[in-house]
Amino acid sequence: MVDVSNAEVAHRAASDAEHIAWVDEADAELGSLPRAELRERGLIGRGTFILLFNSAGELCIHRRTLSKAVYPGYWDVAAGGMVQLGESYAESAARELEEELGIGGVALQEHGRFFFEQPGNRLWGAVFSAVSDAPLRLQPEEVLEARFVSVEAALAASENQPFCPDSLEAFKRYLRSGAAGREFSV
């Protein structure tokens, strides 16, 4: 039996009812729908992926709670979530980074957008990175644990542990873009 707290159950219900941006295959807004309905109907939403690094260049990875509708208990290389109607990708990224990991007021760099598609998870995603050495404040309804690891260690762990495939795609696109390491140069 899965051990899920009452707070997680309530958070999941609120999350499923939250209205998020509904878009088409070209990322044009069509309106908004409750998150659960968007998932159930196989429609496309907008999401953000924020790769959080410390000043040593280590990446924050975290494990998702078991109450998450998509990829419960999986490890994740990015904070993030779904974009609300009328909210920009950047506004969503800043909100999600503060909600999930307690990191606010940091500069976010955007590294492009991509389309991701799996059963139950279709989205246009925007990839961001940030650097912070501030202490993490984890959102207990969404994050079980978090730690900073080298980029190589994160990639190696993703080979033999369950990691969110959409976030891994965002991370790999970030690495291919050549942006890795630029945030840390003096």
Q: List, for residues 138-172, the tens digit of each pLDDT value.
A: 999 999 999 999 999 999 999 999 999 999 999 99
Tokens at 133, concatenated: 């050495």
Question: Rounded to an integer, what distance in angstroms lies between the CA atom of residue 174 and that of residue 84?
Answer: 23
* Per-residue pLDDT at 78: 98
Strands 44-53 and 79-82: antiparallel
| Strand ranges for 65-155 from DSSP E | 75-76, 79-82, 109-118, 121-131, 143-149
Q: Residue ranges for the binding site for Mg(2+)?
A: 96, 100
Q: List, for residues 32-69, the tens digit of each pLDDT value.
A: 999 899 989 999 999 999 999 999 999 999 999 998 88
Q: What are the residue ranges spanned by the domains of the chain? A: 6-178
DSSP letters, 51-82, are: EEE-TTSPEEEEEE-TT-SSSTT-EES-EEEE
Q: Residue ranges for the binding site?
A: 96, 100
Q: What is the pTM of this model?
A: 0.90
* Per-residue pLDDT at 58: 97
Comparing 4-8, 18-22, 89-93, 147-151, which segment has the lowest mean pLDDT? 4-8
Q: Tell me: domain 6-178, CATH 3.20.20.70, correct?
A: no
